[in-house]
């Protein structure tokens, strides 16, 4: 069965003070449906990726909320998997097409974080951690800082090399009008930014963000997108222990290794075939580890490869995070996995403007929840 992406849309990401979750959802949904060339009544079902709405906003019933905004009462449900909620919602939607239950579905990723104070957001995000981690007072910046320490010690990597991830992603973000931060930064800026969880500094961290993204996908061959077709050729999910301390490795995420191995096999490609990838850089160390787990760099070499601009627009062959990634584009957690799909679709259609990766034909999205407790990998191609 061929699964094709039709319409896509995102809101701007950032501190959207005057915009409610409902308004963000409406904008993303309506623009994605219009872009797909379909009517709302053509949508068979809706899948919503969201993590924090129930915890921070006391609104957990997003399936019903979103179907109201479509203007059609369709089967509609929320999927939660921490920061991978968007990727998991897409995987669930794809499985509903593969089962034959539905033919054309809408997937929405949605998160409103900035109306709440940082302490509440940090505590809310820890709902994705284990009881032991919460009792110990761990936060996600703290857990990723442990990963950074383990990696730096194992491979002799400096904080300056880690900083090159944020430098690259902020550079790419300067070309993205939807990004939260659209300014370039230097390694010195990162090094001088305030410490959050040593060795991670403010500019090593993705921000707290609002945003929504939506895509319409179909298994019906007759529903053709007018422009260049983009197919989802693999959608794989893998899981690992909830606690970071229980992992066999602190410098590689098994969920990513397993999900990406299955995805490459399913799509019939290797890491060398990927032209463009959106990587879940919630912290600079996360992109370094992912670059190795996905097979784009040798073990211990990713930070150096990134610093040598091997994955930078206009320099490298395989470009990572052309959207600016989570660091520069922003990280409204439930929306991120869908925004990654929107970005790769635009890249494969040649519609990415100043951040276009030339001749991109095969793209990958890497969406991770917690410290790698769950990973969703999607591969998108212009040809089957
Ligand atoms: N990158 C760049 N600038 C940032 C930033 C980031 N990650 N986070 C905040 N800022 C900026 C703000 O825009 C603000 O700038 P201004 O003074 O010019 O308006 C300034 O820094 C202070 O912002 P504030 O909201 O007070 O920051 P904070 O100290 O409350 O929060 C972090 C900073 C890094 C702690 C917070 O963004 C965070 O927790 N990030 C990680 C989120 C996370 O864990 N996500 C899940 C991943 S698994």
CA distance 364 to 278: 6
- pLDDT for 328: 98
pLDDT tens-digit series, residues 58-101? 999 999 999 999 999 999 999 999 999 999 999 999 999 999 99
Band (221; pLDDT cuts 50, 70, 90) = confident
Q: What would the 3-class secondary structure string for the chain be?
A: CCCEEEEEEECCCECCCCCCHHHHHHHHHHHHHHHHCCCHHHCCEEEEECCCHHHHCCCCCHHHHHHHHHCCCCCEEEECECECHHHHHHHHHHHHHHCCCCCEEEEEEEEECCCCCHHHHHHHHHHHCCHHHHHCCCCHHHHHHHHHHHHHHHHCCCHHHHHHHHHHHHHHHCCCCCCCCCCCCCHHHHHHCCEEECCEEHHHECCCCEEEEEEEEECCCCCCCCCCCEEEEEEEEEECCCCHHHCCCCCCCHHHHHHHHHHHHHHCCCHHHCCEEECCCCEHHHHHHHHHHCCCCCCCCHHHHHHCCCCCCCCCCCEECCCCHHHHHCCCHHHHHHHHHHHHHHHHHCCCHHHCCCCCCEEEEEEEECCCCEEEEEEEECCC
Band (129; pLDDT cuts 50, 70, 90) = very high
CA 118 – ligand 1 centroid, Å: 8
| Residue 366 annotated among the catalytic residues of the structure | no
Band (226; pLDDT cuts 50, 70, 90) = low
Q: What is the mean pLDDT of residues 277-286?
A: 98
Has residue 164 got a pLDDT over 80?
yes
Q: What is the mean pLDDT of residues 46-63?
A: 97
Q: Among the options 83, 205, 282, 329, which is catalytic?
A: 83
- pLDDT for 222: 79
For residue 121, give the ligand 1 atom closest to its CA.
39
Domains recognised in the chain with CATH numbers: 4-117+209-225 (3.40.47.10), 137-206+232-381 (3.40.47.10)
Q: Could you give the percent of the chain with pLDDT greater than 70?
A: 99
Enumerate residues lining ligand 1, CB below 6 A.
83, 118, 122, 125, 140-141, 181, 196, 202-203, 205-208, 282, 331
CA distance 185 to 165: 11
**pLDDT higher at 223 or 178:** 178
CA distance 169 to 73: 39
- The upper half-sphere exposure of residue 374, i.e. CA atoms within 13 Å in the direction of its Cβ, equals 18
CA 207 – ligand 1 centroid, Å: 5
- Per-position b or e across 250-264, b if 16+ CB within 10 A of its CB: bbbbbbbbbbbbbbb
Q: What is the mean pLDDT of residues 130-154?
A: 97
- pLDDT for 371: 98
Band (143; pLDDT cuts 50, 70, 90) = very high
CA 227 – ligand 1 centroid, Å: 38
CA distance 360 to 131: 43
C-beta of residue 358 within 8 angstroms of C-beta of residue 204: no
- pLDDT for 228: 84
Band (384; pLDDT cuts 50, 70, 90) = confident
CA 196 – ligand 1 centroid, Å: 9
| Residue 282 annotated among the catalytic residues of the structure | no
pLDDT tens-digit series, residues 311-351? 999 999 999 999 999 999 999 999 999 999 999 999 999 99
Whose C-alpha lies nearest to ligand 1, atom 2? 203
């Amino acid at each position: 069965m061929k699964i094709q992406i039709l319409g896509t849309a995102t809101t701007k990401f950032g501190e959207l003070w005057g915009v409610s979750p409902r308004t963000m959802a409406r904008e993303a949904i309506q623009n994605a449906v219009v872009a797909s060339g379909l009517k709302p009544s053509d949508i068979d079902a809706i899948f919503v990726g969201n993590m924090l709405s129930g915890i921070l906003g006391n609104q957990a019933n997003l399936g019903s909320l979103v179907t109201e905004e479509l203007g059609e009462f369709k089967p509609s449900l929320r999927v939660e998997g921490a920061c991978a909620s968007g990727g998991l919602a897409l995987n669930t939607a794809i499985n509903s097409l593969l089962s034959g239950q539905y033919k054309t579905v809408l997937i929405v990723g949605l998160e409103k974080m900035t109306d709440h104070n940082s302490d509440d957001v940090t505590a809310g995000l820890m709902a994705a951690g284990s009881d032991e981690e919460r009792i110990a007072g761990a936060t996600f910046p703290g857990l990723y800082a442990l990963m950074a320490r383990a990696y730096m010690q194992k491979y002799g990597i400096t904080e300056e090399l880690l900083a090159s991830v944020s430098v690259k992603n902020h550079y790419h973000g300067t070309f993205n009008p939807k990004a939260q931060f659209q300014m370039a930064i230097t390694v010195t800026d990162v090094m001088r930014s305030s410490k959050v969880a040593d060795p991670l500094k403010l500019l090593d961290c993705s921000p707290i963000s609002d945003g929504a993204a939506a895509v319409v996908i179909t298994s019906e061959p007759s529903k053709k997108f007018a422009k260049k077709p983009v197919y989802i050729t693999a959608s794989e999910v893998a899981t690992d222990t909830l606690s970071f301390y229980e992992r066999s490795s602190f410098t590689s995420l098994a969920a990513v290794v397993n999900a990406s191995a299955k995805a490459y096999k399913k799509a019939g490609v290797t890491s060398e075939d990927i032209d463009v990838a959106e990587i879940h850089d919630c912290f600079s160390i996360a992109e370094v580890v992912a670059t190795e787990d996905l097979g784009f760099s040798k073990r211990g070499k990713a930070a150096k490869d990134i610093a040598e601009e091997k994955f930078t627009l206009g320099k490298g062959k395989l470009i990572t995070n052309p959207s600016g990634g989570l660091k520069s584009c922003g990280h409204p957690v439930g929306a991120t996995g869908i925004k990654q799909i929107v970005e790769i679709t635009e890249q494969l259609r040649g519609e990415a403007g100043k951040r276009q990766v030339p001749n991109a034909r095969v793209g990958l999205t890497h969406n991770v929840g917690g410290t790698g407790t769950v990973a969703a990998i999607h591969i998108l191609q212009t040809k089957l």
